[in-house]
Structure 1
Amino acid sequence: MSLVAALVQAGAAVAQVDSEAVFARARAVNLARMHAERLNGGLSGYRAAACMHRTGSTDCLIGEDGEGYTFRFRGGPPGWEQEVPPVPTVESVVTIALDGRSVVAVPYNGPLVPDDEPAAAGDS
Protein backbone atom coordinates (compact mmCIF):
# COMPACT_ATOMS: atom_id res chain seq x y z
CA MET A 1 0.00 0.00 0.00
CA SER A 2 1.35 3.43 -0.88
CA LEU A 3 1.95 6.05 1.77
CA VAL A 4 -0.84 8.23 0.37
CA ALA A 5 -3.35 5.36 0.44
CA ALA A 6 -2.35 4.51 4.01
CA LEU A 7 -2.83 8.13 5.10
CA VAL A 8 -6.23 8.35 3.42
CA GLN A 9 -7.32 5.10 5.09
CA ALA A 10 -6.06 6.29 8.49
CA GLY A 11 -7.87 9.62 8.06
CA ALA A 12 -11.13 7.82 7.26
CA ALA A 13 -10.76 5.67 10.37
CA VAL A 14 -10.20 8.77 12.55
CA ALA A 15 -13.23 10.49 11.01
CA GLN A 16 -15.35 7.39 11.74
CA VAL A 17 -14.23 7.35 15.40
CA ASP A 18 -14.88 11.10 15.76
CA SER A 19 -18.37 10.87 14.27
CA GLU A 20 -19.22 7.89 16.49
CA ALA A 21 -18.11 9.88 19.55
CA VAL A 22 -20.37 12.76 18.50
CA PHE A 23 -23.36 10.43 18.11
CA ALA A 24 -22.56 8.68 21.41
CA ARG A 25 -22.48 12.00 23.26
CA ALA A 26 -25.81 13.02 21.70
CA ARG A 27 -27.33 9.67 22.78
CA ALA A 28 -25.85 10.17 26.26
CA VAL A 29 -27.47 13.61 26.66
CA ASN A 30 -30.83 12.22 25.59
CA LEU A 31 -30.61 9.16 27.84
CA ALA A 32 -29.54 11.22 30.88
CA ARG A 33 -32.46 13.62 30.34
CA MET A 34 -34.99 10.83 29.83
CA HIS A 35 -33.74 8.96 32.89
CA ALA A 36 -34.12 12.10 35.03
CA GLU A 37 -37.62 12.58 33.60
CA ARG A 38 -38.56 9.06 34.75
CA LEU A 39 -36.95 9.51 38.18
CA ASN A 40 -38.80 12.77 38.74
CA GLY A 41 -42.33 11.70 37.84
CA GLY A 42 -42.50 11.99 34.07
CA LEU A 43 -43.08 14.86 31.67
CA SER A 44 -46.42 15.82 33.19
CA GLY A 45 -44.62 17.14 36.28
CA TYR A 46 -40.94 17.58 35.37
CA ARG A 47 -38.79 19.25 32.72
CA ALA A 48 -35.00 19.13 32.57
CA ALA A 49 -32.98 22.29 31.92
CA ALA A 50 -32.70 23.52 28.33
CA CYS A 51 -29.04 22.43 28.17
CA MET A 52 -30.30 18.84 28.11
CA HIS A 53 -32.45 19.48 25.03
CA ARG A 54 -29.77 20.93 22.72
CA THR A 55 -28.08 18.40 20.44
CA GLY A 56 -24.33 18.59 20.78
CA SER A 57 -24.45 20.92 23.78
CA THR A 58 -21.85 20.38 26.48
CA ASP A 59 -23.25 23.01 28.87
CA CYS A 60 -24.39 20.36 31.38
CA LEU A 61 -21.51 17.94 30.76
CA ILE A 62 -19.29 18.00 33.86
CA GLY A 63 -17.09 15.00 33.13
CA GLU A 64 -16.00 12.54 30.49
CA ASP A 65 -13.73 9.64 31.37
CA GLY A 66 -13.44 5.88 31.00
CA GLU A 67 -16.69 5.48 32.99
CA GLY A 68 -18.69 7.60 30.58
CA TYR A 69 -20.29 11.03 30.35
CA THR A 70 -21.45 12.73 33.55
CA PHE A 71 -24.11 15.43 33.37
CA ARG A 72 -25.24 17.80 36.13
CA PHE A 73 -28.45 19.69 35.48
CA ARG A 74 -31.47 21.19 37.14
CA GLY A 75 -35.13 20.66 36.49
CA GLY A 76 -38.56 21.46 37.80
CA PRO A 77 -42.22 21.63 36.93
CA PRO A 78 -43.17 22.43 33.34
CA GLY A 79 -42.51 26.11 32.65
CA TRP A 80 -39.95 26.61 35.41
CA GLU A 81 -37.35 28.06 33.01
CA GLN A 82 -39.83 30.65 31.72
CA GLU A 83 -40.39 32.05 35.23
CA VAL A 84 -38.54 35.26 36.08
CA PRO A 85 -36.26 34.33 37.70
CA PRO A 86 -36.27 30.62 36.82
CA VAL A 87 -37.03 28.46 39.88
CA PRO A 88 -35.77 24.88 39.52
CA THR A 89 -36.66 22.41 42.25
CA VAL A 90 -34.52 19.35 41.48
CA GLU A 91 -30.90 18.71 40.61
CA SER A 92 -29.65 15.55 38.91
CA VAL A 93 -26.20 14.10 38.30
CA VAL A 94 -26.33 11.21 35.83
CA THR A 95 -23.48 9.18 34.33
CA ILE A 96 -24.05 7.49 30.97
CA ALA A 97 -21.79 4.86 29.34
CA LEU A 98 -19.35 6.05 26.67
CA ASP A 99 -21.47 4.48 23.92
CA GLY A 100 -24.46 6.54 25.14
CA ARG A 101 -26.68 3.49 25.49
CA SER A 102 -26.90 2.76 29.24
CA VAL A 103 -27.10 4.50 32.60
CA VAL A 104 -23.96 3.82 34.64
CA ALA A 105 -24.90 5.70 37.81
CA VAL A 106 -27.08 8.38 39.34
CA PRO A 107 -24.82 9.87 42.02
CA TYR A 108 -27.45 12.48 42.90
CA ASN A 109 -31.10 13.24 42.21
CA GLY A 110 -32.75 15.47 44.76
CA PRO A 111 -33.15 19.00 46.11
CA LEU A 112 -30.96 21.75 44.68
CA VAL A 113 -27.33 21.87 45.72
CA PRO A 114 -25.69 25.31 46.05
CA ASP A 115 -23.47 26.11 43.05
CA ASP A 116 -20.30 26.05 45.15
CA GLU A 117 -20.96 22.54 46.52
CA PRO A 118 -20.66 19.30 44.55
CA ALA A 119 -23.73 17.08 44.46
CA ALA A 120 -22.67 14.18 46.66
CA ALA A 121 -23.47 10.51 46.30
CA GLY A 122 -26.05 9.33 48.77
CA ASP A 123 -27.66 12.74 49.27
CA SER A 124 -30.84 11.79 47.45
Structure 2
Amino acid sequence: MNRVLTTTTGLALALGGIGAIKAAASLPLAQPKAANLARMRAESMNGGLASYRAAACMYETGASSCLISKSDQGFLFGFRGGPPGWERQSPPSPTLETRVLVSPNGERILAVPYNGPIR
Protein backbone atom coordinates (compact mmCIF):
# COMPACT_ATOMS: atom_id res chain seq x y z
CA MET A 1 0.00 0.00 0.00
CA ASN A 2 2.81 2.40 0.93
CA ARG A 3 4.52 1.78 -2.45
CA VAL A 4 1.28 2.52 -4.33
CA LEU A 5 0.80 5.74 -2.39
CA THR A 6 4.40 6.81 -3.09
CA THR A 7 4.05 6.03 -6.80
CA THR A 8 0.72 7.84 -7.06
CA THR A 9 2.05 10.88 -5.20
CA GLY A 10 5.17 10.99 -7.40
CA LEU A 11 3.07 10.74 -10.56
CA ALA A 12 0.75 13.52 -9.40
CA LEU A 13 3.70 15.78 -8.57
CA ALA A 14 5.36 15.06 -11.90
CA LEU A 15 2.20 15.80 -13.88
CA GLY A 16 1.54 18.94 -11.86
CA GLY A 17 5.05 20.14 -12.66
CA ILE A 18 4.40 19.74 -16.39
CA GLY A 19 1.59 22.30 -16.17
CA ALA A 20 3.89 24.73 -14.40
CA ILE A 21 6.54 24.30 -17.09
CA LYS A 22 3.98 24.98 -19.83
CA ALA A 23 2.71 28.09 -18.02
CA ALA A 24 6.24 29.43 -17.56
CA ALA A 25 7.06 28.72 -21.21
CA SER A 26 4.50 31.32 -22.35
CA LEU A 27 6.63 34.05 -20.72
CA PRO A 28 9.73 34.86 -22.79
CA LEU A 29 12.91 34.20 -20.80
CA ALA A 30 14.07 37.78 -21.47
CA GLN A 31 11.02 39.31 -19.75
CA PRO A 32 11.87 38.40 -16.13
CA LYS A 33 15.46 39.49 -16.76
CA ALA A 34 14.22 42.80 -18.21
CA ALA A 35 11.84 43.36 -15.28
CA ASN A 36 14.58 42.75 -12.73
CA LEU A 37 16.93 45.11 -14.55
CA ALA A 38 14.25 47.83 -14.78
CA ARG A 39 13.38 47.51 -11.08
CA MET A 40 17.03 47.61 -10.04
CA ARG A 41 17.63 50.73 -12.17
CA ALA A 42 14.70 52.48 -10.49
CA GLU A 43 15.97 51.45 -7.07
CA SER A 44 19.43 52.79 -7.87
CA MET A 45 18.16 56.07 -9.33
CA ASN A 46 15.86 56.72 -6.39
CA GLY A 47 18.20 56.27 -3.45
CA GLY A 48 18.46 52.51 -3.03
CA LEU A 49 16.32 50.11 -1.05
CA ALA A 50 16.76 52.08 2.17
CA SER A 51 14.65 54.89 0.74
CA TYR A 52 12.74 53.50 -2.25
CA ARG A 53 10.50 50.56 -3.17
CA ALA A 54 9.03 49.91 -6.60
CA ALA A 55 5.41 48.87 -6.91
CA ALA A 56 4.63 45.24 -6.03
CA CYS A 57 4.03 44.43 -9.69
CA MET A 58 7.76 44.83 -10.29
CA TYR A 59 8.44 41.95 -7.91
CA GLU A 60 6.16 39.53 -9.80
CA THR A 61 7.84 37.15 -12.24
CA GLY A 62 8.12 39.09 -15.48
CA ALA A 63 6.29 42.11 -14.00
CA SER A 64 3.44 41.57 -16.48
CA SER A 65 1.15 44.00 -14.62
CA CYS A 66 3.74 46.78 -15.08
CA LEU A 67 4.62 45.92 -18.68
CA ILE A 68 3.40 48.72 -20.94
CA SER A 69 4.65 47.22 -24.17
CA LYS A 70 6.78 44.43 -25.59
CA SER A 71 8.10 44.98 -29.11
CA ASP A 72 11.17 44.78 -31.32
CA GLN A 73 12.41 47.87 -29.46
CA GLY A 74 12.31 46.02 -26.15
CA PHE A 75 10.31 45.86 -22.93
CA LEU A 76 8.82 49.10 -21.64
CA PHE A 77 7.86 49.00 -17.96
CA GLY A 78 5.91 51.71 -16.19
CA PHE A 79 5.40 51.69 -12.43
CA ARG A 80 5.10 53.79 -9.33
CA GLY A 81 7.26 53.75 -6.25
CA GLY A 82 8.00 55.53 -3.03
CA PRO A 83 9.47 55.18 0.42
CA PRO A 84 9.43 51.72 2.00
CA GLY A 85 5.90 50.88 3.13
CA TRP A 86 4.10 53.22 0.75
CA GLU A 87 1.85 50.44 -0.58
CA ARG A 88 0.68 49.52 2.94
CA GLN A 89 -0.57 53.04 3.62
CA SER A 90 -4.29 53.64 3.34
CA PRO A 91 -4.62 54.80 0.65
CA PRO A 92 -1.26 53.85 -0.90
CA SER A 93 0.83 56.99 -1.44
CA PRO A 94 3.46 56.58 -4.16
CA THR A 95 5.70 59.58 -4.72
CA LEU A 96 7.48 58.65 -7.95
CA GLU A 97 6.65 57.30 -11.38
CA THR A 98 9.22 55.49 -13.52
CA ARG A 99 9.36 54.21 -17.08
CA VAL A 100 12.25 52.04 -18.18
CA LEU A 101 12.95 50.59 -21.63
CA VAL A 102 15.03 47.39 -21.61
CA SER A 103 16.55 45.66 -24.63
CA PRO A 104 14.60 42.80 -26.25
CA ASN A 105 17.05 40.25 -24.80
CA GLY A 106 16.55 41.70 -21.30
CA GLU A 107 20.24 42.43 -20.84
CA ARG A 108 20.58 46.23 -20.87
CA ILE A 109 18.75 49.44 -20.18
CA LEU A 110 18.10 51.34 -23.40
CA ALA A 111 16.41 54.39 -21.89
CA VAL A 112 14.67 55.79 -18.86
CA PRO A 113 12.02 57.95 -20.54
CA TYR A 114 10.68 59.17 -17.19
CA ASN A 115 11.63 59.08 -13.54
CA GLY A 116 10.00 61.77 -11.47
CA PRO A 117 6.89 62.93 -9.64
CA ILE A 118 3.59 61.17 -10.34
CA ARG A 119 2.06 62.70 -13.48
TM-score for both structures, normalised by structure 2: 0.76
Unaligned runs of 5+ in 1: 1-17, 114-124
Unaligned runs of 5+ in 2: 1-23
Residue 97 of structure 2 is aligned to residue 95 of structure 1: no
User: Rg larger in 1 or in 2?
Assistant: 2
Partner of 2:85: 79
% same residue = 52
Q: CA deviation at 1:35?
A: 0.3
Partner of 2:52: 46
Counterpart Cα distance in 2 of 1:56 and 1:71? 10
SS of residue matched to 2:92: coil
Residues 29, 69 of structure 1: CA spacing in aligned structure 2 closer, same or farther, 3 A cutoff? Answer: same
RMSD: 1.6
Q: How many residues were matched structurally?
A: 96
Q: 1:1-124 counterparts in 2 under 5 A? A: 19=25, 22-113=28-119
Counterpart Cα distance in 2 of 1:43 and 1:94? 18
Q: CA deviation at 1:54?
A: 0.5
SS of residue matched to 1:81: helix
Counterpart Cα distance in 2 of 1:55 and 1:20? 12
What letter is aligned with 2:72? G
Q: CA deviation at 1:23?
A: 1.5
Counterpart Cα distance in 2 of 1:65 and 1:38? 25
The CA deviation string for residues 5-57 of structure 1, in whole angstroms up to 9 with x for no partner, is xxxxxxxxxxxxx9596220000010000000000010000000000000134
More displaced 10-residue stretch of structure 1: 91-100 or 50-59: 50-59
Counterpart Cα distance in 2 of 1:57 and 1:102? 16
Counterpart Cα distance in 2 of 1:34 and 1:45? 13
- Higher helix proportion, which one? 2
